[in-house]
Each structure stands twice: as C-alpha cells, then as structure tokens.
Structure 1
Amino acid sequence: MLPDSEPTPAAADRVTLFADVVLPLPLPKLYTYRVPYELNDQVVVGGRVLVQFGAKKTLSCIVAAVHETAPKDYQAKYILEFIDDAPVVTQPQLKLFRWIAEYYLCTLGEVINAALPSALKLSSESRVQLHPAYKRDEHPYPLSEQEEKIVDALSTEEGKALTFSEVGEVLGISSFHKVIKSLMQKDVIFLFEHIADKFTPKVVKKVRLAHHFVSEAALESLFEQLAAKAKQLDVLMRYIQRVPVYQNEHLNHRGLEKAALTSSPHLSPSAVNTLIKNGVLEQFDQIVSRFPMDDDPKQQMPFALSEGQLTARNEVLDHFQQKDIVLLHGVTGSGKTEIYIDLIKNALEGGGQVLYLLPEIALTAQIVTRLMRVFGTRLGVYHSKFSDNERVEVWNGVLSGRFQVVVGVRSAVFLPFDNLSLIVVDEEHESSYKQYDPAPRYNAREVALMMGTFQGAKILLGSATPSVETYYQCRAGRWGLVTLTKRFGEAGLPDIELIDTRRNQSPGANGQPKRPTHNFTPELTAAIEGRLEQKEQVILFQNRRGYSPFITCLDCGWIPKCKSCAVSLSYHKHAHELRCHYCGHHDQMPRECPACGSMALRMMGFGTERIEDDLKIMLPQAMVQRMDLDTTRAKNAYQQIISDFEQQRTNVLVGTQMVTKGLDFGNVSLVGIINADSIIHYPDFRAHERAYQMFVQVSGRAGRKGKKGKVIIQTGDPQQPIFDKVMRNDYVQFYEYELEQRREHLYPPFARVIKITVKHVEERGAQETAISLVQELVERLGREAVLGPEAPYIFRIRNFYLQEITIKLSREHTVLKHAKAQILESINLIKAAKDFKGARIAVDVDPM
C-alpha cells in the first residue's frame, strides 16, 4: 500500500488527481480517493479500482469522476490499485444509475451493488481457486514467477481456495490484484465470494474412434472382427455416419457426444460401453460454452409476416418517425413475437444494439431457441438463474460488441449498452418487472424507458393486457398505439365458460354447503378427460403453491403459525413439512395437535401440489407436471418442464402465474382456472387489473395453432363484472371502467404513489416510529398527501413488525422532485433521532 504522505520534490510540479468512487455500499455520498502520481494516466471513469475503506476492509469500486479537488472534511487515502485499463461501466450506464438512485430514493452504491455481477465486485472476502479446466502441462499461456507461486499454492490439494489476504501472504506483497486479474484472463483461476458460488464448467462426455483404427485398412479389419457382434457393429456404423472419418480423419479428434449414441432407441448403451472398454472408442470430457449459439446460415429460421403482422410492423415504424415509445396491443396468439424479431433485424442492420426484456425466466427458455435460430452468436441471454461467471461472460460480451442482441429479465437493464437503438419490453404489464427487496426497488419497464431516452433508442412495449398507465399514455397521444385484434393464422380466440362452484356443493346437516371432496367441478373434470382422449394438452392454473395453505385441528381450532411472520404455515406434501412462504422457516408435519393432543388435523384449502396429486389419482394414465416456485428452483428446471410439455411428454401442466405469461404451446386446447375468486378479492387498488390480466393471459394459452380452445373458470361468484369483460375479451371497456375508479380515488395514472414501510423488532417501536415519521411528512407535504400509518395485512415478517405509510403526489415533475427531497429529509431526521435507532425504513416508489 502506498503511504499517505506528501509528494517527493521531483513530483511537485505534477498534477494531483482525485477520484470520486462508488462503493458497493448504501452510502449517501460518493467517497474521494487520491490517485497515485505514477497512475495518473491510467485512471479511467467507469473502471474499477481497489481501495481501503474503514480500518481493514478492502473493496473494489467504480470511478465516477476524476478531478483535482481534494475533499474538505477528510484526508483522502490513496487508491491501492487499478484493476481495469478500460471501463467496465459505460458513461450511459453511470448516467442511468444516477437516475435510478434519484428516482427510487436509494443510494448510488445500492444501484451499483445490484447492477454488477459478483465476480466484478472484489473485496477482502473474495477467494480464488484453480479453474477446473486448467491443465498445467497443456496450458497455452506462459506464467510469470508470481503467477506460478499462486498456482503452486492452489495445487497443494484438490479444491484448495485462497482468500485475497492469503494470496498477499504467498506473494509477500500487498499489491497483487493485477496478478489475480492476469490469471483470470488466462483461465487459470476463477473468483468467487462464497463456497456456493464456485464455478463449475459445463462438461459433456464425448467419444471418438481410437487413433489406430482411423485408417481405411484398420477400419475394414475392425468391421470383420465385429461381424458377429451386431449391437457393437451398429454403434460403430452410427459413429462413422455421424463422424465421416473416411472423408476427413481430423473430424475424429473432435469426436461425438456419447449421449448421441447411448440415448438412441436403436442402439445399445451397453454396446457403447463395451467398445470403450475394449479400446475401440475413447471416452473423454470436453468443457463447452454455456451459450452454444448456432450461427450456421443453413440453420437460420426463415419466417414471413402475415398481412396483419406486416401492417402492424409498418404502423410501428410509422409511429417511430414521430414518437419514441409505441405500444403493440395484440390479443394473445396474434404473433407479436414475429413482429419483434423483424424489428430487431431492422435495428441490427442499422448498426445498433437491442435489448429484449421478458418478465419471467420461464419465457426466456422458450423464446431463446427461436431467437438463436435468427441471430446466432450475436444473441446473449441474461437472467438470475445463470451463474455469476456466466453473467460476467454476457456483461463482457456486451462491452466488446460480441452480443448485439440481449434477451433477459429485469436485471438486463443494468448491462453496459452504449449504442442501443431498440428496446422491446414484452408483457409490459407484468409485476415481475418490479424489484421489491432489497433496494433499488426499481421497475425494469420504467428504467428501460429512461434508458431509451438517454441513448436515443426507440421503445416497443407489447401486451395483450396493457397496464392502465401505459394505455392512458397512448390515449393521451404521448405514445403510439398499434392494435392486433386477430390471432395469427387460422387460430381463433377460445370459448370461455364460467362454472359456479356453489352448484356443486350439496347441503350439509346444518343447511350450509358441504366442502367439495375435490377441487374440480364435474364440468372441468369431463373437459380434461375429453381433451386427453383426443391427445390434446391441458393447462390448469391455481395461484397458490404448496399442498394446502394451512392445517387446523378440528377439535380445538389450533393452526400452526410461523415463529417469525404473522402467517400460517403451508403444508408441502412432497417434503412432508410445514413452510412459511415469507421467511422460509419450516417445521415437520405434526402427527397430533400440540395444543390438545387430538389426531383430528385437517388440511384446509389447496395449492398446486394438491391439484397435481389429485389429478394423478383421478387420471392415472395422464402425465402430470407442476410448474411453480418449488419445482423450478434448479437452474435448468424451467427449460426441462417446458421442453417436456412442448414435446408432449406431459399431458397436463399445473402451475401458478408462471403458466400465464406468454408461453406458446400448439397442442393446448383447454385451460382451467381452478379458483378465480382468490385473485379478485385482494386488498389492493390494482387487484381487478391484475385479475383481468391474469385471466386473459392464461386463457390465451389455449387454442393457438388452429385448434379451437376452451377456458373453464371455476368461481363462487359468477356475477362479478370482471368476468363479463374477460369473456368478451373487451380490454377497452375494462380500461374505461378501471380508469374512472382510479380518477375517483386518485390513484395512478392520476397520481404518483410512494409507499414507506417502517420495520422494528418491537410492535410498539414500529408504531411510534411510523407516527413520528407521518408527523414530519404531514408538515412538509400536507395531510391530504399522507395516508396512514397502518399495519399491513401481514404485519410481521422475519421478526420485524411492519407499519405502512402511503403518499400520493401530483404527477408534475417539479412537484415530484421537491416532494421526494422532503421525504428523504423526513426519513433522515427520524433515523438520526435516538428514540428510533432500532427502526428500519424502506421506500418503494411506484409500488406494484
């Protein structure tokens, strides 16, 4: 480390530079460090530098500005080391990150911490390990003496890892980060923060013909030896067909994936293994890219837009001449994706970059295959199921220009684009674009709109059920509107039938309806059986996971509660345990009531797991699969479930709202909504909007490829007005009714809403803090703008009691900016007060 001392006389005439850096911490201000004289020419805005923060902590941070002004309130420490020669964060990104921090009332450090993949955030807690693919004898890059020392230290035992401080001890120096960076670039080591983040390369098992059999004479002799062994001969013939060693013996070195032989129904896996054992075939492992993009022009997917799609595409381009934002409002199955692809191709021909946003990882699994066929190696994919190393690969690919098109979920708005010409936000109405915790609590749709403004990009929003705010902007003439009213090809909109669940409940002894024995009405059961007999597929939607929402004792009324949250525990049959869906706490399922000892424990209600279980009993011949948070935790679980359903290995797909979002399955002819009422009756001003969107979206999965689809909605209240609008697919009528309600009660789009949540380990502490905060806010904003405080429906989560304050503000930009400043000032006053030290305060701008 360089000492904090005055410059030497020889350097006195040189310029002293200072750098304002963004630390990945929730600090309200940037921190200033001094640039060592000898590194003046290397400092770059957007690059990473290593600094000491506090007594012992070492962190990497982003340079936000370079200047010659020393800080007034503290002596600037020297930057320890420069990690990058070029920016990893671009100027347009920094501008966007500042806007996110200002708009969403958080710090720039919180934005940077959310934006950067962990492998780009070095700290004293970081660790290094040998790359699994590294082989010392075969490595193509020479290593320096210092690099060899690190490799020796990591080679002492398998899986050995060193902390950064241990690397410094091995080398005997304090400035060692460039050595680490060099080893990472040479693929000798990899970096991780926690044991769970360790990089595991994607490895495929391959086979090739042993080199002494590659000649024509040797092959003929081998065929003669195997003449009596038909199964082995079949395997060898298949290999020769797939790898024509006669024409080019060098192809044999690359080999063939073993699975291509062992998974073939016409070949014997044991015969493959026998050939390997006898030395005819050689088995070897090969590390492959996680982004196997096919850029072969022969594999490109040709498609032509229909007349309706072509008209819509041209209307979008016409609007783009005058407006930067256009909404493509197309009914489900109208072919919006093909229009997106055509517009993306048009943008790439102009030399720009494209960001294609999707609300769910499940959607990327299906759309990526289609996009790869069109854009090949120019396409990058970015979402949270990727490992940190994969995300860094995409990040660097965008920086270098390797990826001109990126498809991703909300976090993709943080990628280092600097030449965006088009942003597509598909299913723009989705609440999944909103980040809830931790800060920044941003909405990726809004960030995308601002990103487009900063970079001069055009923005295309797409939805069959646009948000009320979006449609309002179009009706006001600020944004363009293009409408597709017909489904693509011969497909028509599905028929929708309401089933009154009360008709299926026989009266009990007290005259009240008895609880149904299962969760399917006779009409839905018959419809499922009929579609399966016709070899068609079914999607069933229930917006609650688990087997049963709660259990209860029939004798004393005991219900198991979470110890940390004010909610009942849900029963999950597969794990045979009770779980909290808020904090993850879980208990074993009790055999008897712990309160009274009774064995009369009853499961109440139903979730996706129970529906799956019931279906397997009712329809033993059907292949049933479930898609919810529990079944999609593994990295590739989405892809596998969707692939099974696409290949018709699954007959019935049961799921939560994951199944409602933009999935395209050609053989689905029936969709069932099991319990519509639980979606409608929710204490939120967006409840009816969400219900309408969900019903229409899940209905849109039926009848997409020419088959006439049907939707059955089970409800105990068929007179609900929303059902009439869903059945007639009348978005405009729904919008006009909803808009009038919003105008009357002053909700978006007629006001901006900010929700403040106060958290405290004591209920009284939360109440007192919230009351004091409201008093401060009322003084600044007025009583009419501040609602609350009040405890939310779930008033305790993770041992913290909650109080909520709602603020409604005018949409005028100047008013909003002033009000936010007043909100921050009020919060800071409360945080500084001794009486409220134990409170936490979270601000959510534009809550969903």
Structure 2
Amino acid sequence: MTEDIFSTETTYFADVILPVPIPRMFTYRVPRHFAADIKIGARVIVQFGRNRVVTAVVGKIHTKPPEKYQAKYILELLDIDPLITPAQLWLFEWIAEYYMCCIGEVMNVAVPSGLKVSSQSRMQLNPDFDHPELLEEKEVEFIEILKTHTSLTYDDAIKFVGEKNINPMIKSLIGKHAIIMYEEVKEKYKPKIAKKIRLKRGYEGSEEVFNLIDSLTKSPKQQSIILEYLKHIPVNELAEKNTHGVDKTLFTQGETSDSALSTLLDKGILEQFEVIVSRFGDDVPDEPLKILLTDAQQAASDEVLQKFTEKDIVLLHGITGSGKTEIYIDLIQKVLEGGSQVLYLLPEIALTTQIVVRLKRVFGDKMGVYHSKFSDNERVEVWRGIVEGRYQFVVGVRSAIFLPMDNLGLVIIDEEHETSYKQFDPAPRYHARDVGIMLGLKQGAKILLGSATPSIESYYQAQTGRYGLVTLNKRYGEAQLPDIVLVDLKAERKAKTMKNDFSSVLYNRIQQNLANKEQTIIFQNRRGYSPYLNCQECNWVSECQQCAVSLTYHMHSTELRCHYCGHKEEIPKACPVCGSGKLRTIGFGTEKLEEDLKAMFDTARVIRMDLDTTRTKNAYQNIITEFEQGGTDILVGTQMISKGLDFDQVSLVGIFDADRMIHFPDFRASERAFQMLTQVSGRAGRRAKKGLVLIQTNDTQQSLLQKVVINDYQGYYTHEISERDSYFYPPFTRIISVTLKHEEQEKAEKAAHWLAEKLLEKLGKARVLGPEKSLIERIRNKYLFDIILKLEKDKLNIKAAKSFLREMIDALHQEKEHKEVDVVVDVDAV
C-alpha cells in the first residue's frame, strides 16, 4: 500500500496468517505509525494468546473490525518490502484447500525459521519504583545490579546473583513493582560479516605509498604488513581497488604480527571495516562451462520445445544414463536468456550434491541452491537473493517450491516418480511434483517432468494426451545399459555356497572388480545392522515400548533404535525375559553388509551411505566426492544411492532384498520395486565399459524381475495400468487416507467406526474402505486406525467430497467421547 491510500483518521485492520493449525486468518489492528507502510505479504509480529509472540504474514488489509473479539494491535512491522509474494499467498491457500490442512500449517513449513522471530524474556528496573524499604537484602543487591544495566536476561540474572533458583526473588520483585518483565523480539537471521582492511585515504597514491614504506624501515613487521597488502592490491591499482580492501584473515592467519597490525590501525595508516558477504563461497568458474549436446540429446531438446507449443506439461522418459541433465541445462539457458525464472526440483539432497557441482560450472553465481541441510541463515540468503533478483535459477529439494519466485518460465521436476517428493509429517502432506505443476501453471510456466521410470500416473497422463511425451532410448556417449542377472538364492543355499548374505556369484564378482580396480555399489534398502534382536531360547524379540514394531539393532552406536519414534535402548547382555545369553540378530541392514564386506575383503575401502551416516551438513558431499575420486572401492547404501548419481568407475551393482520390495502389502509395491531396481541398476556401466547388475532373489521367474532384466518399462506399465483399472486405484481414482489416533485403542477404534459409518452413508461401500488397524498399529503410544477413500475422478465432485469429509471430522470432534481423537488426512496418499 502507498501512503496516499491511507487517511490518518481511518482505522485499518489486517487479517494475518498465523503459524498455528487453525483453519482461518486472525484480524489485528494496524497502529497508525506504520499504517502507510504495511503491505500484503509483509511479516509482522503479533501476540497470540496470553504469552506467545509469533511471526505472522499479512494476508489482507481492510477497515472492518472483527465482530466476535477485540482486535489486538500488531506489535511490529518487519518488512517494508514484503518477503512473501502474491504468488506464494495463492499457493499457500491452494495447498491448504487441496491437502485439507490449515493455511497456517502451510506458512509454518514454507517460511524458513530464519525469517521468523524469536522472543526472549528480559527484565529491567521499573523507573516508577520508589519504595526501597519494601526490599529484602538480596533484592536490594539485585536492584543495584540492574541500575548498571539497561536490562538483563534470565540467564544473565542467574550469573550476577550466583544462584540457580532465582524464581522466588524475581516473583517478589515483580509483585512489589520493582522490576518490569518484557519480551524482546529479535529476527533470527543474521548476515555473515567479514572484517576487511584497507589503506586510509591519503595513502592511495604511488608517491605516498613509497614514502610510507620508507618511513617504516625501522619497523620491519609493520612494513611487511604494508608489503603484504600491496601483493593483493598493487600500487597501480590502489586508486581503483583500495576502497574494497582485503580480508583481515590475510594478516591474522599468516606469519604477520598481530601487534604490528594493531599499531598500523591505531596510527590511522590502515583502517578496518565490515562488509556483508555470501555464505556460499566464491566457487564461481572463471569461464562458464559450455554444454554440447549429442545428436540424440539435441533431438530430444528440440522435441520438448516443440511439445511445449502444444502442451504446458511434458514428460521426458529417458533411460538411465541417457543424459537428461544436459537437456535440462540447454532448456534452462534458453529460459534464462528470455528473462524468466527457472525452478529445478530434485528428490534427495544426495542427488543435489553431485548435480549442483555440474550446474555451478555452467551457471556460476546466477544459481541458488535450497535444501534442508542448509542452515537457517543460508536458506534466508537464498530467499532474499530471489526477492532481490540475484537468483533467477534455483535448484532444490521438495521445500524449494515455497520460494518467492513469481516470474517462472520453466519448472523442471527430475526423477518425478520419487516418493521423496511427498511430505508425510507434519502437515501439509503435499506432493512437491503436483504442487510444482500447479505453481507453474498458475504463473504461465512450462513444466518438464523427467524420469527413466515414470510414475504410473504421469505416464498415463502422457499416454492419454494430457501431457506431451518425449522418449530418449539411447545412453549418453558410448555407454550401454548394463547386463542384469538374477541370482538364485535357493540354489545357492542348497549348494551351501553362500558367504554370509552374499551369493557366491556376487562374492566372486566383487573380488574380480577389486582386482580390476573398478568400483562396486551394494544396495540394501534397510539401514541398521539387523531388523531385530531375538532370543534363541524363549523367542523374545526386541520391541519398541511406544510403537508396534521391533527395535532395529545398530551395532556402530551400540543401541536398539525405533525408526518410527526415535526411542533408543542399550543392547541387553542377556534376554530380559528368560535371562539367556543366546541373543542373535535376525536379518541384515546396510551396517551389517558394511561389516561383512570389510571382513571378507580386508584390503577393500568400504563406505556406507544411509540416513545414519549422512546426518551432518556435508556428509553427502564428502561420501560422494570420495567415491567419485576413487577413494572408495565399495559403496553400501539405501535408496538414496539409487537416485541419479553418476560414477565413471562403477561396473558392478549388487542388489539385496528384491523380494521384500515386491511383496510389500501396498498397491504401489510393484511400481516402487520396478522403479527402485531399474534406478539402482542404472548406476552401473555409465561410460564405455558395460556394467553388470546382480539381483539376489528367491524367485528368478518373478514376472516383474524379468521385466527389469530386459528394461521393459512399457510391458510393465501395460500390465500395471490394467491392474489399477480393474481394482479401482490411481490414476483412475484419487486416494484419501484418514487415520484416527488415540492412546486408548478402544477410543481410536470407536471413533474410526463412527466416522466410517457417516462417510458410508453418503459415499457408499465402493468408495469407503475400513476402518482397519494401520500397518503399524501403534506409534508413539497411540493406536492407529485407517479409513481409505477411493474417489473416482470422472464421476464424482472431489471438492464436494472433501468438503463433506471436513464436515464429518468436525462433527466427530463435537461428540464428547471422540473429542480427543486425532484425525490425520492424507490426500493423494502414496
């Protein structure tokens, strides 16, 4: 809003989005002193409840006071120029409506915590206090301390008083009106500051500099600092570059004298100043790398552009190793040259690490990177960089769809089939691929989906003509698809040729690979040492006290851990039930495979990449770089190693537990298994030498595995789409999962039956399944019951069905006995 819109006599109100799970905005009064500056999309600080101060976003400005409550004043305006764009506010509302959650939950996830304020209690002397006779001795001493400080935090007060429990004294002083408590609100984001040094004005001319050097002959340490400075900014460049100075670290980390530097600063020969610098370093190439497409890639890129003239969404179906990234780069360059923005989504941080290095060589500092391993301050820098126009192109994971981009020309969603794009907890339970499509369509951008194994839904849309389809069937350069061989575990066990969990075929090929100095990837989609600990005497199994699952045995950290609630226990020395010492591990995870490999191949350099080894910020990068540079012989990992990683020297991939993936009780199990096995297989033989993939299985005749062996996506899709049609599953229906939770099983079950009956009355038996116990029936001490809604897209008003579901959930919570039952709605559950 501009100043001339406002009248000094008019009272304005703002509807703000609060970061709370309440399905509406709240109205606050706008103080007159910043009425002319407040705008939609600006962040403000408001009081919510009695003691809570939160960051809110202005959604609407008007002159109508609320009818049911007295509007509180907005406490502070944080932005003159809004950090939340109209496009983002539209997206927040769309996500809240589509995924059946609250707009405040969307805002809370979307806005990085570095852009939210924190509050801290402080105390100060009450200037109106004039009854010192009321104070006790300790209180008098504390008041004297306060007189010498403007204010103190609670922790500061503890240090000055020298006692841990000062609550009674503080409470007494407040009661006597001697001190005032208040909340100091601060923004969390802090720019990175660099200290720099430069010559004072008057020493910038060549004559003045030489005279200065001569005058310091008797002070060689001071003279050496000036000479060091002139190495970085030569005399003939001083007039132009002296203003920018050099980093102070050049003098504090080398052999120069700190005291000599201080003397030169004191004399006024040098001066120190501070500048705000980027947290992302200066790894910008001198000359941008030029990408040259092969004939097949150029044809695919041209076809994508041609399809974009007909369709807004195009699916690029390119086999593993076909060079889709180069095609993306070609298209990104064209869009950026046209002045529009580009958003490039990837499913995993592990994938961003390798691709970012390649993209940086092409786009340099024009490109921003955004993912959850970044610190709050780093994410805020990217956010502000987009608002200020420094970043026209951003590559990021799921959360990057919330960035303030409002001039999108292209949205790329790579590996679009990946379930990592789906947010499970907390709300909003959105799918970044689908949100990315809506974001692009809203802004008039083109959307490119890429995958070697497209999701059934996306391929169906392409087959039925809603999406354009471009196919790339040739690997980049001279690389060929690997040979995929099924290894019969039944035959190996019968012949007693297994070595731990390794077939003799896989063992011998790893040995051969090591001899040839080639690299191996071992895939097992289960982390930890083994799934559980078992007593051989009484059959006791280690189970979580809060969830209906076994505790996973982690040998490296010597603990039993629940992968659902995070509960940890020490490994028992004896069975807690019968006291037997005969405890054994059952099954195997990545940690056990890593240990077995190190024992079987004692000279091999083995490294593991799973959630446990990649918790720190740079862990992904370090593991990938070490493997890429040949510092590791064997990489053991979970699904994160399957996603688009590109290694020159990998000639062998070994896959465990393929049967478990295929037979998991979920309608998408076969789709995920086909995608995972194909993607992992694609890591082998990505250069001139043909690779080999060994899949260990108990059923070599399994039809899905046979299709993986010959890379028959079309055959797999034809079979799967027929099954989905017959059994009324997506893409022919929309699935909504409703989970009811309570600490008491009976209450959760009763509420689930109540809700299911209400839904059945209107939607019918074909559309309402359940309630049934969840696959994991108890998590974090709450019992779970599921109701599944299958809503056909072409015969039903989905929006009306969702509205009815909302009404029934509200009605459930109006019932006294069901009031405390939690209800979680997951739209498009995967």
Do the structures match in fold with TM over 0.5?
yes
CA 1:399/1:698 → structure 2, altered by over 3 Å: closer, same or farther? same
CA-CA distance at 1:39 after TM superposition: 2.9
Aligned mates of 1:72, 1:257 — CA distance in 2: 60
Q: 1:613 to 1:218 in 2, by over 3 A?
A: farther
- 1:660-675 aligned at under 5 Å gives the runs 660-675=642-657
Distance in 1 of aligned mates of 2:432 and 2:605:
37
Contiguous gaps of at least 5 residues in structure 1:
1-10, 128-147, 182-189, 192-198, 207-213, 226-238, 259-271, 508-513
SS at match of 1:315: helix
The answer as to 2:432 corresponding to 1:465 is no
What SS does structure 2 have at the residue aligned with 1:505?
A: helix
Q: Aligned partners of 2:111 and 2:150: how far apart in 1?
A: 26
Query: In 2, distance between residues paired with 1:399 and 1:360?
Result: 25
C-alpha distance in structure 2 between counterparts of 1:624 and 1:353, whole Å: 42
1:243 and 1:255 in contact (8 A); partners too: no
Question: Which residue does 2:737 correspond to in 1?
Answer: 755
Secondary structure of the equivalent of 1:61? Answer: strand
The corresponding residue for 1:488 is 476
Residue 275 of structure 1 contacts residue 281 of structure 1 at CA under 8 Å; is this kept in 2? no
Counterpart in 1 of 2:93?
A: 98
Contact 2:656–2:695 under 8 Å retained in 1: yes
Contact 1:565 1:582 in 2 (8 A): yes
2:544 aligned partner:
562
CA distance in 2, matches of 1:604, 1:576: 16
Corresponding residue for 1:546? 528
1:292: Cα distance to partner? Answer: 2.1
Q: Which structure 2 residues correspond to residues 515-530 of structure 1 after superposition, within 5 A?
A: 516-530=498-512
Q: Which residue of structure 2 aligns with residue 634 of structure 1?
A: 616
Is 1:769 paired with 2:751?
A: yes
Residue 814 of structure 1 deviates from its aligned partner by: 6.5
Partner of 1:56: 51
* Paired letter, 1:638: Y
Equivalent in the alignment of 1:262:
none
SS in 2 for 1:695: helix
1:74 to 63, 69, 88: 69
2:828 maps to amino acid: D
Q: 1:216 to 1:427 in 2, by over 3 A?
A: farther
Q: Which digits, 9 at most, give the CA deviation of each residue in 1:336-372, with x for residues without a partner?
A: 0000011001010110111000000001110111111
- CA spacing shift, 1:59–1:275, aligned 2, 3 Å: closer
1:576 alignment partner, one of 539, 552, 558: 558
The reply to whether residue 644 of structure 1 matches residue 646 of structure 2 is no
TM-superposed deviation, 1:295? 4.1
Equivalents in 1 of 2:661, 2:613: separation in Å? 22
Sequence identity of aligned pairs in percent?
52
Q: Tell whether the 8 Å contact from 1:559 to 1:568 is kept in structure 2 after alignment.
A: yes
Partner residue of 2:331?
343
Q: CA deviation at 1:817?
A: 0.3
The SS at the match of 1:63 is: strand
Deviations 1:101-121 (A, max 9, x none): 000000101100110111222
**What residue in structure 2 maps to residue 611 of structure 1?**
593
Which amino acid in 1 is paired with 2:566? Answer: G
Other-structure match for 1:21: 16
Counterpart of 2:677 in structure 1 is: 695
Aligned partner letter, 1:79? I
Which residue is 2:130 aligned to? Answer: none
Contact 1:34 1:78 in 2 (8 A): yes
**Structure 2 unpaired stretches of 5+:** 1-5, 123-147, 161-169, 171-176, 198-208, 221-227, 263-271
Aligned residue type for 1:59: V
Q: CA deviation at 1:33?
A: 1.6
How far does the alpha carbon of each residue in 1:494-513 deviate from its partner, in whole angstroms, 9 at most, with x for none? 00011001111148xxxxxx
Deviation at 1:69, TM superposition (A): 2.1
The AA in structure 2 aligned to 1:62 is V
User: 1:55: Cα distance to partner?
Assistant: 2.2
Q: How many Å apart are 1:717 and its aligned residue?
A: 1.1
- Equivalent position to 1:35, from 30, 33, 36: 30
Corresponding residue of 1:86: 81
Amino acid at match of 2:822: R
Equivalent residue for 2:306?
Answer: 318
Q: Report the equivalent of 1:735.
A: 717
Displacement, 1:517?
4.9
Residue correspondences, number? 753
Change (3 A) 1:394 1:274: closer
**Residue 277 of structure 1: CA displacement?**
9.3
- How far residue 731 of structure 1 moved from its aligned partner, in angstroms, is 0.6
> In structure 2, what is the Cα distance between the partners aligned to 1:216 and 1:666?
58
Would you say 1:304 and 2:299 are equivalent positions?
Answer: no
How far apart, CA to CA, are the structure 1 residues paired with 2:76 and 2:806?
35
SS at the partner of 2:775? coil
Relative to structure 1, the CA distance from residue 336 to residue 12 in structure 2 (aligned partners, 3 Å threshold; closer, same or farther) is closer
Corresponding letter in the other structure for 1:47: A
Cα gap change, 1:69/1:217 in structure 2, threshold over 3 Å: closer, same or farther? closer
Name 1:269's counterpart in structure 2.
Answer: none
For residue 696 of structure 2, the aligned residue among 705, 708, 714 is: 714
Distance 1:739 1:63 in 2: 45
**Maintained 8 Å contact 2:121/2:182:** no
For 1:137, the equivalent position in structure 2 comes to: none
Range with bigger deviation, 49-58 or 309-318: 49-58
Q: Is the 8 A contact 1:538 1:671 kept in 2?
A: yes
Distance change in 2, residues 1:573/1:459 (3 Å):
same
Partners in 1 of 2:384 and 2:237 — Cα distance? 36
Name the amino acid aligned to 2:86: Q
* CA distance, structure 1, for counterparts of residue 757 and residue 561 of structure 2: 38
Partner of 1:430: 418
Q: Deviations over 1:507-539 (max 9, x none)?
A: 8xxxxxx89550111110111111121111111
Provide the residue aligned with 2:279 in structure 1: 290
2:403 matches 1:415: yes
Cα pair 2:522 2:637 within 8 Å, conserved = yes
Find the aligned partners of 1:435 and 1:454 in 2 and give their Cα distance.
Answer: 22
Aligned mates of 2:406, 2:375 — CA distance in 1: 24
Structure-to-structure mapping, 1:239-318, within 5 angstroms: 254=246, 289-296=278-285, 298-318=286-306
SS in 2 for 1:620: coil
Q: Does the 8 A contact of 1:81 with 1:175 survive in 2?
A: no
| 3-state SS in 1 of match to 2:440 | helix
Calculate the aligned-residue CA RMSD, in Å.
3.8
Give the counterpart letter for 1:768 in structure 2: K
- Shift of residue 577, structure 1, vs aligned partner: 1.1
Contact 2:529/2:591 (8 A) holds in 1:
yes
Offset of residue 215 of structure 1: 9.6
- The CA distance in 1 between the partners of 2:509 and 2:582, in whole Å, is 35
Alpha-carbon shift at residue 122 of structure 1 (Å) = 2.2
Check 1:38–1:425 CA distance in 2 against 1; reply closer, same or farther (3 A cut). Answer: same
3-state SS of 1:563 partner: coil
After superposition, the C-alpha distances for 1:282-335 in whole angstroms (9 at most, x for unaligned) are: 9x9999643125445x33112200000000000000011111000110000000
The 2-side partners of 1:63 and 1:171 are apart by: 34
Q: Distance in 2 between matches of 1:581 and 1:820?
A: 32
Q: Deviations over 1:163-212 (max 9, x none)?
A: xx9xxx999897976xx56xxxxxxxx55xxxxxxx89699999xxxxxx
Q: Identify the residue that residue 131 of structure 1 maps to in structure 2.
A: none
Residue number in structure 2 paired with 1:836:
818
Contact 1:549 / 1:569 at 8 angstroms: preserved in 2? yes
Structure 1 residues 710 and 31: CA distance shift in structure 2, 3 A: same
The secondary structure found in structure 2 opposite 1:613 is helix
C-alpha distance in 2, partners of 1:256/1:623? 41
Matches within 5 A, 1:394-405: 394-405=382-393
Q: Is the 8 A contact 1:47 1:86 kept in 2?
A: yes
Shift, 1:75, TM fit: 2.5
- Counterparts of 1:604 and 1:155 in 2: how far apart (Å)? 50
Tell me the alpha carbon deviations over residues 233-279 of structure 1, each in whole angstroms, 9 at most, x when there is no partner: xxxxxx99x97979989999847999xxxxxxxxxxxxx99967999
Cα offset, 1:623, TM superposition: 0.6
C-alpha deviation, 1:66, in angstroms: 1.2
* Equivalent pair of 1:202/1:290 in contact (CA under 8 Å): no
Equivalent of 1:374 in 347, 362, 382: 362
Counterpart of 1:818 in structure 2 is 800
Give, in whole Å, the separation in 2 of the partners of 1:47 and 1:380.
23
Match of 1:780 in 2: 762
